[in-house]
Structure 1
Amino acid sequence: MTTTTAPVTSTDAAPGSPAGPGKPGRPAMPARNFWLHTERYALLIAWLVVIIVFSITLPNTFFTVGNLQNVLGSQAVLLILALGLLFPLTAGEFDLSVASTLSMSSMTVAVLNAQMGVPLLPSLAAALVVGLLVGLLNGVLVVKFKIDSFIVTLGSATVMLGLVQWMSNSSSVTGIDSALVQATVGFRGILGMPLQFFYGLIAAAVILIILTSTPIGRRLLFVGRGRQVAELSGLNVNRLRIGAFVASGLVASIAGIVYAGSLGGADPSSGQSFLLPAFAACYLGATAIVPGRFNAVGTFIAVFFLFTGVVGLQMLGAQSYVQQLFYGGALIVAVALSQAIRRQSAKAHK
């Protein structure tokens, strides 16, 4: 007796596969990969579209070498500040004190060097110490005293604003050693870009390596995704959280030094204007390259995408307040998009 066995066809899709019963999973993969790559590079594509649109609309003013140098060469301070924010954000914390740390570090350099005659190198070292101490204080208050990072960093930011006003007597301080100015904006080499542009590139490369290719970066991500799970896995979560704030404070102080060099001094209030754009760049960057995760490359693209839009609109005749409208709107949209991407990613992994 001969038994004929029909070919067995699996109708169950693999876990996480978009294919349902009776639908093979493989045909859906090309479409899935296409949308994944589109999602990763959507911000970069949007930036290119913005450049093309403004270049066609304003060929004699926007599409020029001078404007290219302006867009790329003037955002180093914001870029470095936003990159520093990636450490606490990756660890699941907020740091609203970064702009105040920037202001206090730049004012420390200006007061010590320009007013008190302290040599440049010790003044720069003092500014870095300021950032480290602020970050350490924020981290200890959040971790040891279990206070929400939003409240702690908002309070420390306000305290620092008062200290900056006191240090400067509520006025700008000028006369910083020309060596710092020369090292920031004085030299124009490759493509006519100031050195501060290359400082931003170096900062992006270093932080990219730290967050993606070192155990510290992976542990910070693990802590940000699930603090209790990270503790059960044996990670020193408290130390990592404090370290994230210290790193944020240190990078903010570096941004303050670059800011002091670009101004040739320090202003007691202008540093606060960097806070909203920095958060907007971080959250908008989290929708690109590695969607749903704060990352250095996405933040880099976001900084210049946002500023390109602001410059183009101002060249079209928009008033100065368009910058606040643009950055504020971008922050709201970026947060909404990044949260939606995270929810979608979480569902895909269930």
Structure 2
Amino acid sequence: MSDTLTETPKPTPRSTRGNGRQARSQFERVSLILAWIVVIAIFSFVRPDTFFTVGNMATILGSDAVLVILTLGLILPLRAGDYDLSIAGTLTLSAMLVGIMNGEHHINIWLVVLAALAVGVVVGLFNGLFVLIFGINPFIVTLGMGTFLAGIVLLISNDQTFAGISPGLVNVVVGDRFLGIPLEFYYGLIACILVWYLFDLTTFGRKMLFVGTARDVARLSGIKVGRTRLVALVGAGVLAALAGILYAGTSGSADPTSGTAQLLPAYAAAFLGATAIVPGRFNAWGTIIAVYFLATGVNGLAILGLGSWVQDVFYGGALIVAVALSQLARRRQEQEIT
């Protein structure tokens, strides 16, 4: 009788490549989280008494809730393949309406909140109708709308800051806290969960992705492309208006330049978020992680004593890098599918 020897089969090159791709994909998903942890560790080591404190962490989480909600609104049309450059103008107009109607004329704050949200709906509708009916590039439409809204704000405010906003709004935004963190952080978290649910667990969310990646194919498949794009732009307007309400509640006032500095960080966070969790796609969890990653970097550099130029340089550089990385992630994803 002869003994038979059993040899362990060697992995094929194809299986090795598959394992390598899977490992790389998993790393890409969490790479931004790991980078965030590294940034926190570095600043905590350099400035342990001022950076890594409960107060500073609560400040970072709370103060950037406005940017979280604004960026979540931005990724709605981005997911559907459209840009919206009017979100900063919508935020500013919403905040200014709160300041004028409530702070100046003492109209009930919750009626004012509804009015501000309605303005967001109207702005989104106008953006969508001009894009769809006249076939104008959304970049041009929303750029013009943002400039138009900035002019309206200057007109109704006479270039003045309005204070005296109802303590009721201020309290539910920054006055009241849970676990030491202002409630506005949790509003951003709730918005993130809702957008995640829309994108990942609803048919409409999948349609948005289809429209954004293959618009002509989506149209031939029977998807109502125009309606999908319109809803995305209206959703962006509503969330931008909500961000404006939170902005007014955070500071207790409204000024004509409230949203001017928010547009660049929102785009930087949106594209950086598209490199994490679901690389190559605009997604809710990647967005909120990107916002706080960038906010942590700016906060840490400010604590180190660098000048006010840091924020512009940091966000501008982050936008360029984020767009490049998101494009690389999308191309790699397309190559793996094919």
In structure 2, what is the equivalent of residue 32 of structure 1?
21
Instruction: Determine what percentage of the aligned residue pairs are the same residue.
Output: 52
In structure 1, what is the equivalent of residue 65 of structure 2?
76
Distance in structure 2 (CA, Å) of the matches to 1:336 and 1:27: 28
For 1:327-338, what aligned pairs fall within 5 Å after superposition?
327-338=315-326
In structure 1, what is the equivalent of residue 220 of structure 2?
232
Q: Which segments of 5 or more consecutive residues in structure 1 lack a partner in the other structure?
A: 1-18
Distance in structure 2 (CA, Å) of the matches to 1:138 and 1:212: 25
1:246-277 residue CA offsets vs partner (Å, 9 max, x unmatched): 00001111111111111112111131111000
- 2:246 aligned with 1:269, yes or no? no
Q: Which amino acid aligns with 1:48?
A: I
Moved more, 28-37 or 137-146: 28-37
For 1:248-263, what aligned pairs fall within 5 Å after superposition?
248-263=236-251
Displacement of 1:244: 0.7
SS in structure 2 opposite 1:167? helix
Larger radius of gyration: 1
**Partner residue of 2:182 out of 164, 171, 194:** 194
- 2:51 aligned with 1:58, yes or no? no
Q: Which amino acid aligns with 1:246?
A: V
Displacement of 1:29: 2.9
SS in structure 1 opposite 2:243? helix
Aligned length: 328
The root-mean-square deviation of aligned C-alpha atoms, in Å, is 1.1
1:277-297 residue CA offsets vs partner (Å, 9 max, x unmatched): 000000000000000000000
- 2:120 aligned with 1:120, yes or no? no
For 1:85-96, what aligned pairs fall within 5 Å after superposition?
85-96=74-85
- 2:214 aligned with 1:223, yes or no? no
Q: Which amino acid aligns with 1:214?
A: T
For 1:1-350, what aligned pairs fall within 5 Å after superposition?
23-190=12-179, 192-350=180-338
Contact 2:95 2:258 in 1 (8 A): no
Displacement of 1:34: 1.3
Q: Which segments of 5 or more consecutive residues in structure 2 lack a partner in the other structure?
A: 1-10
Q: Which amino acid aligns with 2:92?
A: S
Displacement of 1:72: 1.1
Displacement of 1:39: 0.8
TM-score by length of 1: 0.92
Distance in structure 1 (CA, Å) of the matches to 2:103 and 2:299: 33
Distance in structure 2 (CA, Å) of the matches to 1:336 and 1:118: 47
Distance in structure 2 (CA, Å) of the matches to 1:61 and 1:291: 34
Contact 2:119 2:241 in 1 (8 A): yes
